[in-house]
Amino acid sequence: MARLFWVTALLTMGLLSGCGSSIKSTTAMDSSAKQQISSSKLVVDTIDDGKFNIPDHIQARLKSYLKNELAKRDLLAEEGASNANRIQIKVTYYRMRGGVARDILGVLAGKDGIQADVLILPPDSDKPLHTITASSFNFTAAGTEEEMPRLFAGVVAKEIDKQLHR
């Protein structure tokens, strides 16, 4: 009986912990990029959702979460700063199951996720100072549609901070 309880508990925890985020590829930030970013900080510029048509409210949440994560790490430039470096997010994968599929099918409906190239650009050029490829995903129907943008923003801000302090 105890064995059945523990097996059930472990399976339940495994299904409910189907969210995650990762940095898929990144190169070390060079010293001139570090100096440029550290001296003038960052603003969240644009999200290019390409062919994925990400709903406006999800894009707004992603920007908001990223601004909050950057601010926590003292990396966010003041609003309207003309010398701030820009963050552009170019989405390469996005999927969010609809309500019925999410509620009824759960795990069987497939993986929700967002993956994007995050470009850090100087204020006066479109040549990236640094690029990060990041993703967040949810294999289960646990959580809300806010989980992926929140996790994505957290992993991006953490990676930028880590790169600046290497």
pLDDT tier for residue 95 given thresholds of 50, 70 and 90: confident
- Which residue would you say has higher pLDDT here, 60 or 10? 60
For range 38-45, the mean pLDDT: 93
Residue 59 has pLDDT above 90, yes or no: yes
Spell out the domains of the chain, with CATH numbers in brackets: 23-164 (3.40.50)
Strand partners, 116: 91, 134
Amino acid at 121: L
Name the nearest CA neighbour of 105 among 139, 138, 137, 141: 141
The rounded mean pLDDT for the chain is 83
pLDDT, position 99:
61
Q: pLDDT tens-digit profile of 98-137?
A: 665 555 655 555 677 899 999 999 999 999 999 999 998 8
